[in-house]
């Protein structure tokens, strides 16, 4: 069994996890990760399960989805929509900051 604390440390030191490490770090099953990939919510690097690598952004996305499902009982499609909206809001904030800097 992999210690979750050690996984967190390894994410900080090495920003990429394999499928097993991601599952342990986020307390999810490989099937759940496969569903997220099928929905396009996360995008691993690599071509097969054993070669997949997940960066810190993918870990963050999985944790957000698990919180949405646990706290609000949102399904994967709904969680994907929430993540897309969050991404769009972040882009808009960045553009607004750039706009403010340029025109002030």
Per-residue pLDDT of the chain (104 residues; tens, 9 = 90+): 445 545 554 445 657 999 999 999 999 999 999 999 999 999 999 887 778 999 999 999 999 999 999 999 999 999 999 999 999 999 999 999 999 998 87
In this predicted structure, what is the pLDDT of residue 8?
A: 52
Domain count, the chain: 1
Helices (H), 1-104: 4-13, 19-26, 30-39, 56-72, 76-103
CATH of the domain at 77: 1.10.1660.10
In this structure, what are the phi and psi dihedrals at residue 53, rounded to the nearest 5 degrees?
A: -130, 140
> What's the pLDDT at 9?
44
Residue 19: predicted pLDDT? 94
Structural domain harbouring 84: 4-103
């Amino acid at each position: 069994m992999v210690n979750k604390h050690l996984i967190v440390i390894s994410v900080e030191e090495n920003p990429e996890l394999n499928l097993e490490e991601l599952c342990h770090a986020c307390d999810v099953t490989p099937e759940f990760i496969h569903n997220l990939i099928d929905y396009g919510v996360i995008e691993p690097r690599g071509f097969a399960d054993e070669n997949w690598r997940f960066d810190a952004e993918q870990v963050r996305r999985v944790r957000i989805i698990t919180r949405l499902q646990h706290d609000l009982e949102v399904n994967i499609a709904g969680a994907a929509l929430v993540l897309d909206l969050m991404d769009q809001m972040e882009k808009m904030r960045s553009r607004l900051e750039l706009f403010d800097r340029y025109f002030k």
